[in-house]
Structure 1
């Protein structure tokens, strides 16, 4: 009994240690965002001597936060909407109808997960330039949707296989077609897996820097993360304002995760069922 209790205490201490290690960079970011330039240079790691909340005002103004926030919400929301709709509708026939074509499509989706985004970046950017989609929300919505749908299909397929087929048989007896059965019966039961897909893609799309920087050349179209680059000039880097801007970018994503987290683990476990 004593050994078991000692193991639990040691495990808790180890977990506390890992929590401190993982939280230290975040806390240092918050503390650094509240320092003056001189204080940051003198004491880059410790607590701020004076709380400079004005850093957030400067960061909010210089990065034009409301505009950048609106662009990010439009791109993130539009992408997630298409990812959920296309991914769930593609996963349903793959999970329910075991044809050779559906199995081949499932393998195709799994294969595309393994392709790194950097491998297709150059032809993708050229395609967007030729189609005139650069500096538009549509370009990033198309990119994020195409990149995220394969994993969404994988997750949704595993989850749909756990849903009893008798529910669909009952709906068919009532005269419901496949399309109506999916949206009225199956999709409402996919809440946890849909939430998992939403959380994973919010974290990725909200924090993505590379693709918005490449495809959105206009300042008016910039999303939140590339807007932090406004504080990095040729000869001067305003680190305290950049840290404040980073906190402003980080907060909405954390809030979204906290609101949706209760369904996250459930959806990941259910979506990982073997085919």
Structure 2
């Protein structure tokens, strides 16, 4: 094959790949596009034209959705639970993973395999005993009840990621710090933890997506309307004999917006964290 033919063939392959990527992107974006369009339709327009652009834009859908969701309150609930949970997941994951990775003790090995086993347990398998226990302990309709659930469910995987990453950091760095007067705790805080930036970003990314979009746990534990988070609040538009789809679609857009804005603002860190975390762990 001549050089010219090779270049032409390479261009055709690149164009084909780009076309395929455009099609895949369009397939993934179409539901979002249709959601936004549906949120701007009247109930009659939505009934007769469920797909496509609105014939008449109705912005009152967002006003009703905002008021019904009690948007600012539910946004605060979601943000508070998400931020506190992720902060504690990172701290618990890093502090628990450090002795497991650094001290070759039998107890540490056993605990590591216990955490691995916990990753394999599906959350749905413990829902009934969890809710019963929460009622007995008075943790229903509390912020700290939700935070505890998220820490317990996410910490094992965070420990797994942190353990693998810490093992790649040379021990000589900590030994030098200890010689200079740092204790084990100081060496971890000053030397090791700053080097865990990429895996910490990975843990944050994974848990932002799971906690922010969680429907089941808040629905079961946060039963008071004023305690609800954003995602289960959409359920307010689904009644026994009727469903206000146009309001539900508008509410879905309002729920999506904060997550999209966070991703756009932190997109660079998200990509770096996912790539570095997948390689290092």
**1:274 shift after superposition:** 7.7
Residue of structure 1 aligned with 2:88, choices 60, 82, 85: 82
Residue 126 of structure 2 is aligned to residue 109 of structure 1: no
Q: 2 CA distance for matches of 1:14 and 1:171?
A: 52
CA deviation vs aligned residue, 1:91-127 (integer Å, no higher than 9, x gap): 1112222222222211111111111000011111111
Take 2:22 and 2:225, find their aligned partners in 1: how far apart are those partners? Answer: 43
Choose which of 264, 267, 275 in structure 1 pairs with 2:273: 267
Find the aligned partners of 1:28 and 1:22 in 2 and give their Cα distance.
11
* Match of residue 199 from structure 2: 193
Displacement of 1:170 after TM fit?
1.7
1:33-68 Cα distance to aligned partner (Å, 9 max, x none): 111111111111111112222211110011100111
1:92 is the counterpart of 2:98: yes
Instruction: Report the Cα offset of residue 3 of structure 1.
Output: 1.3
Taking the aligned partners of 2:261 and 2:162, their CA distance within structure 1 comes to: 25
Flag the structure with larger Rg: 2
Rounded Cα–Cα distance in structure 1 between residues aligned with 2:11 and 2:219: 52
Alpha-carbon offset, residue 270 of structure 1: 3.8
User: Which blocks of at least 5 consecutive residues in structure 2 are unaligned?
Assistant: 1-6
- Measured after TM superposition, the shift of residue 236 of structure 1 is 1.9
Cα distance in 2 for partners of 1:207, 1:201 equals 10
Counterpart position of 2:264: 258
> What is the total number of aligned residue pairs between the two structures?
275
Q: Which runs of 5+ in 1 are unaligned?
A: none
Residues 109, 150 of structure 1: 8 Å contact kept: yes
Q: Within 1, Cα distance between the matches of 2:70 and 2:142? A: 18
After superposition, what is the alpha-carbon deviation per residue over 1:155-180, rounded to whole angstroms, capped at 9, x for unaligned?
Answer: 11222222232221221111101111
CA contact under 8 A between 1:134 and 1:215: conserved in structure 2? yes
Per-residue deviation, residues 68-87 of structure 1 (Å, max 9, x unmatched): 11111121111111101000
Matched, 1:46 2:52: yes
Q: Do the aligned partners of 1:155 and 1:268 also contact (CA within 8 Å) in 2?
A: no
Q: TM-score, normalised by structure 1?
A: 0.95
1:212 is aligned to 218
**Pairing of 1:22-171 with structure 2 (within 5 A):** 22-171=28-177
Q: Does the Cα contact within 8 Å between 2:202 and 2:277 map onto a contact in 1?
A: no
